[in-house]
Structure 1
Amino acid sequence: MRLTYREGAAARAFIYGGLFWMFLGMLFGLFAAVLMVWPDLIVGLPVLEYFTFGRVRPVHTNLVLFGWLTGAYFATLFYMTPRVVGGKLWSEGLGVFTALLHNLALGLTTVSLLAGGNVGREYAETPWYIKWIITATFLLVAVNLFMTVKNRTEKGELYVSAWYFLGALVTTPIIYVIGNQFLLPQNPIWGVNDAILNWFYGHNILGYWFTPVGVGAVYYLLPKLTGNPIYSHKLSMIGFWSIFWVYGPTGAHHLVNGPVPYWVQTIAIAFSVMLIIPVWTVVTNFYGTMKGKWHLVRDSVPLKFLTTAIVFYFITCFQGPMQSLRSVSAITHFTNWVVGHAHVALLGTFSFIMYAAIYYMLPRLTGRAIYSKALQEWHFHLSLWGFLLMFIDLTIAGLVQGAFWAQNQSANFIEGVAMMRPYYILRAISGAVIILGQVLFGWNVYKTATAGKPFEAGQDAGEAAPARAVEPAGA
């Protein structure tokens, strides 16, 4: 018996799975934040060893990065790619199977990390056998989408979103395999070289996976939500090629002032500063495309998320090159500043883009209009203000922390830890506000899928006019 799946089944599966991992991952993040304020919270409990900070924190990062964001990215790829190339997804069945495989990997990740199966590398903590499953999910998604492009009906020039999507699918599995010690149980590389390789992976998974798919989604959504063609296709292609050429050597800026070769640090710093080129193309294209349509932001929550995300994208891409400089890194490295910077990219930028994408895709995948505009607005404002509180809090905490260390040369380190307590309390509060916003988001998605009114394309505020040559085709 051959199973058949309704169009959009794979994208829906990844959206629903991604939301589950988002809730779980953010709850672990809130729990980790509470432990920073109240470290004795779980003392005496029989499950103490499974919920220490050192186990909870990597569960949070892995579930948010590879559960929520990657799951939402896969949904975005399965929805947008067929529409920008003209056609249908090559295999909905393969897409659904990939979603099941992805959820299996995340379930094993959660259990293994809580049980202490941590290999000790940032964003690469999972045991080697789980990494094989994660690699398989990326490869299966790549096969599905490249076959979709091969069978496309529109044989002309590819829209820029397709370039970003396909570029990410080519580079990410390579970076993942190399950066995770070639998926071997016994690591062939160790010492300083291990650290360099880890940050080749840790930074480039951001640059070659989270950034290209996020930017590609923006290039798809903006013309659809504003009715304007993309401001400059040529500029978008300059951004595409520059990010893929420039990003690779930047990972070692995480090791500036550390025990790695000086020339490796210098190359990383130089290429980090050059990242302003692709950032400039995205920001310029965004504001050029929005020309004459800013009034739509008032009524369109997806546009609110996109507009805010581009502001945060500029901030994080300004921070990154600047904090790679040796003089700046000497103050900010190892402080809460870096934690705040990471949240600007992964929450303020790419998660906000995915919120906009899901609000756009869900009605077209389910045939039902978004259940509640009021819940959308609450989701936006709770996410925005919760995030801003966290970002500002961690940024100030990091500067205070770095200045204290520089002044005291770590002679009284524990005093520096104690002075962080008020900032950690604010971080926990901001995390609770963010999670409240996601609860409303999840409820709105659930009610949309089960009780939303029939959806007709063009009924939401800011819906696009018919596609033009420099707009993505399809719904």
Structure 2
Amino acid sequence: MAETGTVLRGKFSGVDLDALVEWQAVRTWLYWGMFWLMVTPSIGVAISGLFTFPDYLGTENIELTFGRLRPVHVNGVIFGAFSALFFGECYYLVPRLCGVEVPWARLGAPLAWLWNLALAAALISLPLGENHGLEAGELPLFAEIPLFIVVATTTLQFLMAIARRLEPPLYVALWYLIGAFIWTTMNLILGSFILPYTINGINSAAFHGLYIHYIVGLWITPAGYVLIYYFLPISAGNPLFSHKLSLVGFWSLALFYPFVGIHHYLFSPIADWAETIAITTSMLLIIPVWTVLVNFFGTMMGKWHEFGRNLPAKFLIMGSIMYLIGCFQGSTEALRSIQQPTHFTDFVISHSHLTVFGTFVVWAMGGLIYVWPRVWGRELWSFRMGNWSFWLITVGISTMGLVLTAGGLQQGFQWMAGAEWLDTVVPMKPYWFVRTLSGISMDVGMSLLVVNLMLTTLLEPATEKRPALRPGAEPAGEPAE
């Protein structure tokens, strides 16, 4: 993997990697990503308070009810916070891995505006009642069309850049990038234009199970792998531990993940054979999870002593730990015996937060911390503030995962023992209150991170004064890959 600060060899020799990057596209996408980081997780905290204080947002405005605001939170985190950061970081890493410019790179900034304005309009319309009723597929058609156009266009841009790459070998991050964009272009056709209008009844539930898991497993997951496979070796200053392991992870993900979505519908009218396939493939997902985790921790060998001062690596490794825990939950809760006490409980919500936020959004933040100082040619304004962000986010998501898991198991076993539903709600209130506090901790951490990055843009570093760096250069004292 070629990066500024290394000795470039082969056809990369003499190539100015900084000149290949369309910095305006990177900046625009990352600005939007930071905006959504500030807004959409905070909506989640606001609505979590309704579990403890049901009337605190008022009782007259239906727009402020949980059912209207939750899809704003879910879609905003997935398509706003995570996806905007991912697009921006792709415009940075693709030309550096390929040694060529992204075709029509100047479209990157207009595409960012199209994506994010359409998403903003959709998120405003959701509380007003525009909703397809499909989780992660609630957005109205007027937003889904431009979102599809952006995904299809960027897919074409990145595939053309990869096709024109200087060296034939394909680094693993590009494998996952190809998969993420191609799979999602096809999945958006299913979820945006087919499923809401032509499929009904139990078939709609089955296909929706597939669609939402394609969003998580064939968009967010491979996209997250793109980021950590690129930014972890570079931030650690180590080569990737094993290329073969990375390909085992890629092909097992591609083989098993398309079938797992129906594991949300066990004990339903969906055919037993389809449920059993979903259970089997859910367990087999342990293969890509363990292979990539071995790869990530192996990449850090010999560099753990530098870990404390390496903010990008800290976010990436913390996200990997959350991935291990969250995916263990996801695989085991697909078993019929485990799903009985966990289905419809906060155990599932714990799993989704540990993976979507604790893993993939955190990985995107790790990439953001790496890229943003290079966008502006200077060092991060304050390491101390960045470290506070890390620990507030880490403590918050860890606490949230713990209390939701514990509360969900308690409630599930109460149901199985025959307790009335209402009698199981009252014991959950302390868990829900701690969940809100943990969300506040995460929000404060993300806010400090965004403030830190904005000060990086506006001010000189708060610690040691060093010469300004040109865009893309390695800050002094930080190892290159």
Which amino acid in 1 is paired with 2:185? Answer: P
Aligned ranges for residues 158-237 of structure 1 at < 5 Å? 158-182=170-194, 187-237=197-247
**What's the counterpart of residue 39 of structure 2?**
24
- Is contact 1:221-1:357 (8 Å) kept? yes
- For residue 156 of structure 1, the aligned residue among 158, 168, 187 is 168
Give the SS at the match of 1:247: helix
In structure 1, distance between residues paired with 2:193 and 2:164: 35
Q: Displacement, 1:314?
A: 1.3
- Is contact 2:378-2:475 (8 Å) kept? no
Which amino acid in 2 is paired with 1:16? Answer: Y
Q: Displacement, 1:444?
A: 0.7
Q: Displacement, 1:439?
A: 1.0
Q: Displacement, 1:443?
A: 0.3
Asked if 1:393 is matched to 2:409, the reply is no
- Is contact 1:90-1:144 (8 Å) kept? yes
Give the SS at the match of 2:316: helix
**What's the counterpart of residue 148 of structure 2?**
135
Q: Displacement, 1:226?
A: 2.0
* Cα deviation 1:391-431 (Å, max 9, x = unaligned): 111011100110111001xx511111222111111111111
- For residue 67 of structure 1, the aligned residue among 80, 86, 94 is 80
- For residue 122 of structure 1, the aligned residue among 135, 150, 172 is 135
Which amino acid in 2 is paired with 1:432? Answer: I
Which amino acid in 2 is paired with 1:211? Answer: T
Q: Displacement, 1:127?
A: 1.6
- Is contact 1:296-1:303 (8 Å) kept? no
In structure 2, distance between residues paired with 1:100 and 1:278: 35
- Is contact 1:8-1:92 (8 Å) kept? no
Which amino acid in 1 is paired with 2:256? Answer: V
**What's the counterpart of residue 392 of structure 2?**
382
Q: Please, which moves more after superposition, 54-63 or 122-131?
A: 122-131
Aligned residues: 454
**What's the counterpart of residue 459 of structure 1?**
475
Question: Stretches of 4+ moved more than 6 A in 1?
Answer: none
**What's the counterpart of residue 469 of structure 1?**
none
- Is contact 1:9-1:92 (8 Å) kept? no
- Structure 1 segments unaligned to the other structure (5+ residues): 466-475
Which amino acid in 2 is paired with 1:459? Answer: P
In structure 1, distance between residues paired with 2:169 and 2:21: 29
In structure 1, distance between residues paired with 2:21 and 2:183: 30
Give the SS at the match of 2:169: coil
- Is contact 1:312-1:349 (8 Å) kept? yes
**What's the counterpart of residue 470 of structure 1?**
none
Which amino acid in 1 is paired with 2:326? Answer: T
**What's the counterpart of residue 43 of structure 1?**
58
In structure 1, distance between residues paired with 2:137 and 2:277: 24
- Is contact 1:296-1:462 (8 Å) kept? no
Identity of aligned residues (%): 37
- Is contact 2:118-2:146 (8 Å) kept? yes
- Is contact 1:131-1:183 (8 Å) kept? no
- Is contact 1:375-1:440 (8 Å) kept? yes
In structure 1, distance between residues paired with 2:159 and 2:304: 36
Which amino acid in 2 is paired with 1:442? Answer: V
Q: Displacement, 1:275?
A: 0.7
Q: Displacement, 1:461?
A: 5.3
Which amino acid in 1 is paired with 2:428? Answer: M
Cα distance 1:362–1:325, how it changes in 2: closer, same or farther (>3 A)?
A: same
TM-score computed with the length of structure 1 as normaliser: 0.92
**What's the counterpart of residue 432 of structure 2?**
424
In structure 1, distance between residues paired with 2:412 and 2:346: 9
**What's the counterpart of residue 415 of structure 1?**
423
Q: Displacement, 1:273?
A: 0.8
* Cα deviation 1:87-111 (Å, max 9, x = unaligned): 2222232111110111122111111
* Cα deviation 1:297-321 (Å, max 9, x = unaligned): 1111111111111111111221111
In structure 2, distance between residues paired with 1:70 and 1:231: 27
Give the SS at the match of 1:324: coil
Which amino acid in 2 is paired with 1:446? Answer: M
- For residue 280 of structure 2, the aligned residue among 270, 289, 292 is 270
Give the SS at the match of 1:180: helix
- Is contact 2:347-2:405 (8 Å) kept? yes
Q: Displacement, 1:6?
A: 8.1
**What's the counterpart of residue 450 of structure 1?**
458
In structure 2, distance between residues paired with 1:165 and 1:460: 30
Which amino acid in 2 is paired with 1:172? Answer: T
**What's the counterpart of residue 15 of structure 1?**
30
Q: Displacement, 1:371?
A: 0.8
- For residue 317 of structure 2, the aligned residue among 293, 296, 307 is 307
Asked if 1:103 is matched to 2:123, the reply is no
Asked if 1:433 is matched to 2:433, the reply is no
Which amino acid in 2 is paired with 1:292? Answer: G
Which amino acid in 1 is paired with 2:339? Answer: S
Q: Displacement, 1:180?
A: 3.4
